[in-house]
Amino acid sequence: MEKVVVGISGGVDSSVAALLLKKQGYEVIGLFMRNWDSTLNNDFLGNPNLNNNICPQEEDYNDALKICQKLGIPLHRIDFVKEYWDYVFTYFLDELKKGRTPNPDVMCNKYIKFDMFAKKARELGADYIATGHYARLIDGKLYKAKDLNKDQTYFLSQVSKEQFKNVLFPIGEMEKSEVRKIAHEYDLITADKKDSTGICFIGERNFKHFLENYLPNNPGDIVDIESGKVLGKHSGLMYYTLGQRRGLNIGGTKDRLFVVKKDLDKNVLYVASGDENKYLISYAAIIEDVNLLDELPSECMAKFRYRQKDNKVFVTKLEDGNLLVKYPDGVRAVTPGQACVFYDGDECLGGGIIKEVLDTRN
């Protein structure tokens, strides 16, 4: 009997993934990853959405344990706190210091879920590893999930082709509603559990309050990029991203203002009115840290942030290994630090990190 180690997070997706694999005849072992020290900055305390003020991570572990007991499979718990800090959280903080908008979930998949986790699974004798990701692997190639609204290939774009060997995505061919239906049919306690949001493994916290523990606030001016008029004060450039409208706390104007630029040297946050203003639309970008899963043609589709539509792009490989990506139709709020992920239809070809947005249509 082939052995598969499943990443059990305490959510409905990984619960159903484990259930399906057991029904398919695998010897299933659960593995819960502890990637954050929940005693640090425990600002979850007093959150009315949490039961009895139990740390969310411990609540997830308790749910994972109950799921594995119900399915009759063992559950191991592994501590990757140091690795997560070294490879994901430090990267996250460094990117914020540069004025960029990082995506820690992308790096968590690359360094933790499909590296550290996979190594531990092999120590447990795994023939395969499995997760509750919404994605599909067909003949060694990565494809979008059947449920396009839940597709997670964007977050898997930095995982190497080698890392995808002997990986299973049991729910990739299913709609989310079907996953919850199965969870109800088998009376799993996670059937109606809310999907996790927030920073990968750190969970739902007050983002500003959380970051204050690690990066000092550096308030500065909010300036209208057209008039040069100071409209207010920002609490630190790291708390804002391009295209953001909410949370600017600018009074005395009826215009819908959006973040269009961050000047790190002057510590100025620039805004402009209009969702599709000229400062938000770009036509080319430089992509670094490129990870390809298949051959990348000179013309394909790409998305520059999660849940964005696919955009037609033209790709040129530069001498330094980076990519020049042009998108002549224009794309809103392409943001340094975010992932640029390439597609050929439903196949994910890989991706890279947006290094620089170019102010050109040529």
Identify the bridge partners of residue 72 per DSSP, sorted by sequence position: none
CA-based nearest residue to 225, from 294, 277, 176, 189: 277
Residue 164 contacts residue 114 (beta carbons within 8 Å): yes
Q: Name the phi and psi angles at 239, rounded to 5.
A: -85, 0
The dihedral through the CA atoms of 245, 246, 249, 254 has a sign that is: positive
Is residue 108 part of the annotated active site? The answer reads yes
Residue 55 contacts residue 42 (beta carbons within 8 Å): yes
Residue 141 contacts residue 161 (beta carbons within 8 Å): no
**Hey, is 255 helix, strand or coil?**
coil
Q: Which of 55, 68, 108, 348 is catalytic?
A: 108
State the residue for tokens 């049919």: 185
Neighbours of 295 (CB within 10 A): 8
List the strands of the sheet with 27-34, edge to edge: 75-79, 27-34, 3-7, 128-130, 167-168
Instruction: Quickly list DSSP for 265-302.
Output: TTTEEEEEESTT-TTTEEEEEEEEEEEESS---SEEEE
Is residue 68 part of the annotated active site? The answer reads no
Identify the bridge partners of residue 284 per DSSP, sorted by sequence position: 326, 358
Helices (H), the chain: 12-23, 56-71, 81-84, 90-97, 104-108, 117-123, 176-185, 207-211
Instruction: Quickly list DSSP for 176-199.
Output: HHHHHHHHHHTT-TTTTPPPP-SB
CA-based nearest residue to 114, from 76, 87, 94, 90: 87
Q: Which of 200, 300, 340, 348 is catalytic?
A: 200
Question: Which sequence positions are flagged as catalytic?
Answer: 108, 200
